[in-house]
Amino acid sequence: MSQYGHPAGGEGYQASGNEGVAGGPPQSAPPPGGHTKRRVYAKQQYDFNAGAAPSPYGSEIGGSSNGDIYGGAQGYGVGPGAGAPGIPGAPGVAGAGVGAPGGPGAVFTPGVGVTSPGAGVGGYGAGAYGAGTDGTGAGAAGSGYGIGAVADGLANQFGQLGLGGASGARGPQPVVGQPQGGQQPGANGQQQRLPLNQLYNIDLIQSLPPPITDLALPPPPLILPAGAAVNNNPEANASPDFIRSTLNVIPTNSSLLKKSKLPFALVVRPYTSLLDASAPVPIVSDTVICRCRRCRCYINPFVTFMDQSHRWKCNMCGLTNEVPTQFDWDPIKNERQDRYARNEINYGVVEFVAPPEYLVRPPQPPIYVFVLDVSVNAIANGLLATAARTILESLDRLPNSDGRTRVAFIAVDAALHYFSIPLPSSQQKEPSIMVVSDLENPFLPLPSGLLVNLNECRPAIEQLLGTLGETFAGNVSSSNALGSALKAANQLIGNVGGKIICLTASIPNVGIAKLEIREDRKVLGTAKEGALLQTANAFYKSFAVECNRSQVTVDMFLFSSQYQDVASLSNLPRYTGGQTYFYPGWSANRAEDAVKFAHEFGEHLSQEFAMEAVLRVRASTGLRMNAFYGNFFNRSSDLCSFPTFPRDQSYVIEVAIDETINKPYVCFQAAVLHTTCHGERRIRVLNVAIPTSNLLQDIYASADQLAITAYYTHKAVEKALTSGIQDAQDLLTNKLTEMLQTYKKDLMTTNVGASAPLQFCANLRMLPLLFNGLLKHVGLRKSAQIPSDLRSAALALLSTLPLKYLIKYIHADFYSLHDMPDEAGVPNEETGELVFPPKLNLTGERIVSHGLYLIDDGQVQFLWVGRDAVPQLLLDAFGVDSSAQVKPGKRELPEVEGSLLNAKIRSIIAKTREKNDSITWPSLFIMKEDGDPSLRLWATTFLIEDRSDQSPSYFQFLSGLRDKINS
């Protein structure tokens, strides 16, 4: 790896190895003529192990000859097998281990589930647990949460992991003495134990620093009894990318769920890409849709065929239904087909092409109405010209495969400006403008010509967009009648439906639903701040509900450099299935701003979306959908309405247990009935089956820390919007405390006194860190320095981001670039995927003054330049040899010809921006450690394991939890 160090001696070229890494093996002699080289500059070599100040957490990475959890099997596996040293996630080798003695009943059951042996992120399972009543067995190589061995002799294992200060810490310990598993019917009618995930204890404080690689682990596996699925297809359960539960073992009754203090909810994301071609799902195209007569569940991999396959038993309600005669017929080949080859019987995610009876009216065409702010602010910052150019360049990318897409344009300042767009065959040759000054009762000045077909009127549309910036270039009006413009846009398309895309650079200050500047910096960070997060005018919610009824979605792109009341305006997307995009201080004169907006706006316009969509989630008898979170409108108790269904959002549905469950597993089915932008009526169906248990340890052992975080993020946002930031913080702290108290009280058999350690199960070890990150997040952090617009925009993101981006938004990725491994920053030879440097803990302990770092939360990025960075590092990274010549602020990294380091950093940044399921293009800020204090302060807020003015460090946070629980 290349190392740019502090001046400390040594020069020339040296073979690359693991020197300087705690716990690493001694450097071996390089093979003659075949070694990789590390450039070490004269008097600039630095021994990180010897020269760096010792961290209270210890070294970040390390290898151990004892097969530790970092050097060996990735995840929580420990055992005496030799492990590959160095980076977390390196390939481990199988190591025979001796588990803690267990009683009769085989506490250590063979692991079952999804595993990824070898390098990288592992699964939870196969072979990772010892087998036999004495707990002896072999640990699997590279398994995720598997425990190769946990013996009394490993009491000091953590202290030997190359983790400096963790002396005496124990590895994950299995909870012994109680059988694990749910129930399933045996051959004699008795209930038998189904082996489920095991529970392993860890001491949260003694195992610091938290292993960041755990955030990339898959959820605990869903272990179902044999024969649960018709074909035993491994894809019978939907991928966690589509649907995942906070609990991967469901309590059999509500009292057990209440006792656990764990939430029961589903995180649903029906689409995982902006375009269908990027993530296709199996299609059922013959329009034969088989549904239960009682609960209306769609046939799926978990039904049971009966009566010589003439009937099927619903896995939700148990009703026996007839199998349609067309179910076994191939209409294309005009012959019988194997029903067991049908997609809906094999796959957990399918899409049905709906027959005509699913259509209330002909398929709706994609419709876009652009509401453009043309007041002086939008002219001065270049918004109008940039938006017009981006729309013009995106016309070919709009969903328009069948030529039915229609568009309209409304400009707004102190009046409404409508554009009449002529057909090529009409006598009118150029677009004309009609001005309506009646803002209280806006009306359409023409019965036709305002909403036009994109293909038919393409030349006139291009002409309009090409001259739009010049048309209003001299406008000096500072008024913005946005509310009136929105009402007019809804009048224009309300009878059909579509999208209203609003781009505005000022607060609505005239006309319908005008807003006042109500932000008072004196109330920021106080109990009165909660009022600023609520809408100031009831119009913005009532109008949004009206739009939803008319099948109209509103998307808001907000660009003001002054107060704009994001809290009020964000209600429009919240209840119509849209999104709020916030660009504070945006200016087209800054190339980075223009590129960011053009990319995001272009991707937003080009994404495929569903129309006239409704989402309903069904579940097995005894379960009920209790609450729904996300951007939509609840049309009834269990039906979520979306005028258009976006591709870059997810939803959380809370589940209640109404009756005792007597089945070994329960099923959920999420169905989205929609019209595609290509004119087809379809139903996308997601299926998942989850085992059940009446034992608390089973529930905890299979809890999903990331899904739980998503659920409580939505609860905290809801609390912040209704009661204020302090109540949201109290909610998070209290819920985490309750979980830890329950774990100590009901699942710990030792150390239950007042001095007990802070213990939790291994699969939830990152939950406190994520809650700590939420408490310090800009959306929920107590501070008098966060403008209410910025906070409201952050809350909008927290309540809509898909899970993987939500976790990154809460816990940013942190990379060290000056000493990254040789393979980092270049594509892997086998997979072709770019290799990233190891992720670091978000603490200043990881930062050295001569280093170069990247912080990335998915929305913004910081390139941190240490104050003592040596000239050669600066030359390789920025093309200059002095820190004074590095230009700070929002800008792109310059290209340095011939520099490998510069090429690697640019590749890493480019890869983080490359997404097929999100439109976000994060801005890059170059920050010098001894530069702008405000920029440095902003960057340090991402270091959530450190102490800040009003927040404790992560160690103090855990210590406070321990004291509260033990008191």
Give SS3 for 860. Answer: strand
Sheet holding 923-928, edge to edge: 813-816, 852-856, 860-865, 923-928, 889-890
**Which structure tokens are listed for 60?**
């970040």
Q: Are residues 590 and 641 in the same domain?
A: no
Q: Are residues 301 and 313 in the same domain?
A: yes
Mention every residue, 6+ apart, whose C-beta is less than 8 A from residue 285.
353
| Residue 153 falls inside a structural domain | yes
Binning pLDDT at 50, 70 and 90, where does residue 950 land? confident
Q: Are residues 316 and 393 in the same domain?
A: no
Distances in Å between the alpha carbon of 574 and those of 604, 769, 777? 17, 29, 21
Q: Are residues 67 and 159 in the same domain?
A: yes
Q: How far apart are CA 530 and CA 533, in angstroms?
A: 5
CB count within 10 Å of CB 678 equals 15
| Residue 528 falls inside a structural domain | yes
pLDDT value of residue 360 = 86
Q: How far apart are CA 688 and CA 618, in angstroms?
A: 11
pLDDT at 486 over 60: yes
Question: Under a CB-based contact definition with an 8 Å cutoff, are residues 856 and 956 in contact?
Answer: no
pLDDT tens digits, 65-120: 332 322 223 333 333 333 333 333 333 333 333 333 333 333 333 333 333 333 33
pLDDT tens digits, 16-46: 333 333 333 333 333 433 333 344 333 333 3
Q: Are residues 379 and 396 in the same domain?
A: yes
Q: How far apart are CA 144 and CA 120, in angstroms?
A: 9
DSSP bridge partners of 675: 611, 681
CB count within 10 Å of CB 451 equals 19
Of the residues 563, 582, 606, which one is the last residue of a structural domain?
606
Task: Over range 926-941, report the average pLDDT.
Answer: 93
Which amino acid would we find at residue 902? N
| Residue 488 falls inside a structural domain | yes
pLDDT value of residue 424 = 83
| Residue 40 falls inside a structural domain | no
Binning pLDDT at 50, 70 and 90, where does residue 192 land? low
pLDDT at 589 over 80: yes
Question: CATH no. for residue 631?
Answer: 2.60.40.1670
Q: Are residues 353 and 487 in the same domain?
A: no
Mention every residue, 6+ apart, whose C-beta is less than 8 A from residue 738.
261
| Residue 577 falls inside a structural domain | yes
Number of domains in the chain: 3
| Residue 427 falls inside a structural domain | yes
Q: Are residues 152 and 292 in the same domain?
A: no
Bond before 209 cis per omega within 30 degrees: yes
Distances in Å between the alpha carbon of 708 and those of 210, 628, 737? 18, 15, 14
Q: Are residues 500 and 583 in the same domain?
A: yes
Task: Over range 173-190, report the average pLDDT.
Answer: 47
Q: How far apart are CA 811 and CA 209, in angstroms?
A: 14
pLDDT value of residue 561 = 87
Place of tokens 């040596």: 870
Model-level pTM? 0.84
**Which structure tokens are listed for 484?**
């009136």
Which amino acid would we find at residue 931? G
Question: CATH no. for residue 540?
Answer: 3.40.50.410
Domain region containing 134: 56-166
Query: Which DSSP state fits 614?
Result: E
More confident residue, 190 or 593: 593
Q: How far apart are CA 748 and CA 751, in angstroms?
A: 7
pLDDT value of residue 967 = 80
More confident residue, 582 or 967: 582
Q: Are residues 559 and 424 in the same domain?
A: yes
Using only the alpha carbons of the chain, give its radius of gyration.
Answer: 29
Mention every residue, 6+ apart, whose C-beta is less than 8 A from residue 926.
862, 863, 865, 886, 887, 888, 889, 891, 893
| Residue 14 falls inside a structural domain | no
pLDDT tens digits, 533-586: 989 999 999 999 999 999 999 999 999 889 999 999 999 999 999 999 999 999
Question: Under a CB-based contact definition with an 8 Å cutoff, are residues 233 and 789 in contact?
Answer: no
pLDDT value of residue 757 = 86
Q: How far apart are CA 320 and CA 311, in angstroms?
A: 6
| Residue 533 falls inside a structural domain | yes
Q: Are residues 326 and 419 in the same domain?
A: no
What burial class does residue 768 get, using C-beta atoms within 10 Å of its C-beta: 0-12 exposed, 13-18 middle, 19+ buried? buried
Of the residues 636, 662, 695, which one is the last residue of a structural domain?
695
Task: Over range 293-309, report the average pLDDT.
Answer: 94
pLDDT at 14 over 50: no
Q: Are residues 386 and 311 in the same domain?
A: no
β-pairing verdict for 498-504 and 416-420:
unpaired
Q: What is the DSSP string of 381-436?
A: TTHHHHHHHHHHHHGGGSS-TTS--EEEEEEESSSEEEEE---TTSS--S-EEEEE
Of the residues 166, 191, 214, which one is the last residue of a structural domain?
166
Q: Are residues 389 and 421 in the same domain?
A: yes
Distances in Å between the alpha carbon of 695 and those of 186, 213, 306? 19, 29, 33
Question: Under a CB-based contact definition with an 8 Å cutoff, are residues 72 and 148 in contact?
Answer: yes
Q: How far apart are CA 944 and CA 775, in angstroms?
A: 9
